[in-house]
């Protein structure tokens, strides 16, 4: 499979506070992964683990502190704002809350026709309508039901499908889907997830799926990475990562999944963990304060990634 996106040693540090008291927060640290053509790659982890910061960097909303991002072999982490516009055609995104994507006082179809005009995709109305019909058909929404309506006239599931159709208008190669089903009714969640698989298979679309929900991640992903405190701790084929988890944190997460119902979220055990020791966070493995397998070395040194049976694991257990 051709490589679509490559992220290498990505790092993002935020500085917070005022003039007299400043603190640095490492939101993303040494993150590397690639996404291939027609692949669904998932970044999964608790809130605040850095996955959304990575999405913002890929979309140009944040600048990385370090590292490299390449799209189709071209470096994009340092491009100028005017070059970003052409990239927007190729890399599209959808977000958690479809109702915040659209202004409640504007009819939804206006966004479609505007986007086609702004990107220079359709020159006249008939051509634009044909494209809009095609994209709506791809996500299972009838054009007649969509015309002349405000966002509040759709259900959350329908509106998320419509925002996916809007993202498809520019024929992107990569779609970033940040928690796309977490605000959708449980009964409709799987239909959206199935839609991603369908788009991958029909159009060769690559998808970066960002979620805290391991059940849908398992169902939709070709490969996935588990993140903890800004770092990838385990990366590999989704089946291997979730059926035979190697990293102690992945095991904790997996055991917290109330499968097979994807409407239920994993939470709990992981969040109820013991208080962490600040020193481990600074010097050693970031999971040492919670890890049932922690050793002396884990408190002193940070592990590198080890390759085990086709999976990358950041843990001293696999030295």
- What residues make contact with ligand SF4 under the rule CB under 6 A? 247-248, 285, 287-288, 291, 293-295, 298, 303, 315-317
Residue 111 makes CB contacts below 8 A (sequence gap 6+) with: 102, 166
Between residues 172 and 284, which has the closer beta carbon with respect to ligand SF4?
A: 284
Q: Min. distance of Cβ 282 from ligand SF4 in angstroms?
A: 14
Q: How far is CA 263 from CA 86, 96, 244, 276, in A?
A: 37, 15, 23, 30
Q: How far apart are CA 295 and CA 184, in angstroms?
A: 42
Q: Min. distance of Cβ 8 from ligand SF4 in angstroms?
A: 22
- How open is the CA angle 63-206-127, to the nearest 5 degrees? 100
Q: Helix or strand or coil: residue 223? A: strand
Between residues 208 and 288, which has the closer beta carbon with respect to ligand SF4?
A: 288
Between residues 51 and 286, which has the closer beta carbon with respect to ligand SF4?
A: 286
Between residues 142 and 283, which has the closer beta carbon with respect to ligand SF4?
A: 283
253, 264 Cβ separation under 8 angstroms: no
Q: Min. distance of Cβ 56 from ligand SF4 in angstroms?
A: 27
Q: Min. distance of Cβ 31 from ligand SF4 in angstroms?
A: 17
Strand pairing category for 40-44 and 223-228: parallel
Taking phi first (over 0 means left), then psi (-120 to 50 degrees means alpha), and beta for anything else, what does residue 17 get?
A: left
Between residues 223 and 246, which has the closer beta carbon with respect to ligand SF4?
A: 246
Q: How far apart are CA 42 and CA 62, in angstroms?
A: 20
- How open is the CA angle 92-107-130, to the nearest 5 degrees? 60
Q: Min. distance of Cβ 13 from ligand SF4 in angstroms?
A: 22
Q: Min. distance of Cβ 272 from ligand SF4 in angstroms?
A: 18
Which residues share a beta bridge with 75? 70
Between residues 268 and 293, which has the closer beta carbon with respect to ligand SF4?
A: 293
């Amino acid at each position: 499979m051709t490589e679509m996106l490559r992220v290498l040693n990505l790092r993002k540090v935020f500085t917070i506070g005022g003039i007299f008291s400043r603190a640095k927060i490492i939101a993303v640290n040494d993150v590397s992964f690639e996404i291939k053509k027609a692949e669904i790659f998932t970044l999964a982890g608790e809130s605040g683990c850095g996955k959304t910061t990575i999405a913002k960097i890929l979309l140009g909303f944040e600048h990385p502190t370090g590292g490299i991002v390449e799209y189709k072999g071209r470096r994009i982490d340092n491009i100028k704002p005017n070059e970003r516009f052409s990239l927007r055609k190729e890399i599209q995104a959808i977000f958690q809350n479809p109702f915040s994507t659209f202004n409640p006082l504007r009819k939804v179809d206006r966004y479609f026709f505007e986007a086609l005009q702004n990107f220079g995709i359709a020159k006249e109305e008939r051509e634009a309508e044909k494209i809009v019909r095609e994209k709506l058909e791809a996500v299972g929404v009838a054009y007649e039901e969509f015309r002349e309506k405000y966002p509040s006239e759709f259900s959350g599931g329908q509106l998320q499908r419509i925002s996916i159709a809007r993202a498809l208008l520019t024929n992107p190669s990569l779609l970033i889907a940040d928690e796309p089903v977490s605000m959708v009714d449980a009964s409709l969640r799987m239909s959206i997830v199935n839609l991603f698989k369908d788009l991958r298979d029909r159009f060769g679309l690559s998808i970066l799926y960002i979620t805290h929900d391991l059940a849908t991640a398992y169902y939709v992903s070709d490969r996935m990475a588990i993140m903890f405190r800004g770092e990838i701790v385990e990366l590999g084929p989704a089946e291997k990562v979730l059926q035979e988890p190697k990293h102690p944190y992945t095991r904790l997460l997996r055991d917290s999944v109330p499968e097979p119902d994807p409407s239920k979220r994993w939470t709990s055990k992981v969040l109820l963990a013991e208080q962490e020791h600040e020193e481990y966070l600074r010097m050693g493995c970031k999971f040492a304060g919670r890890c049932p397998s922690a050793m002396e070395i884990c408190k002193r040194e940070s592990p590198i990634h080890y390759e085990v049976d086709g999976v990358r694991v950041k843990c001293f257990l696999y030295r």
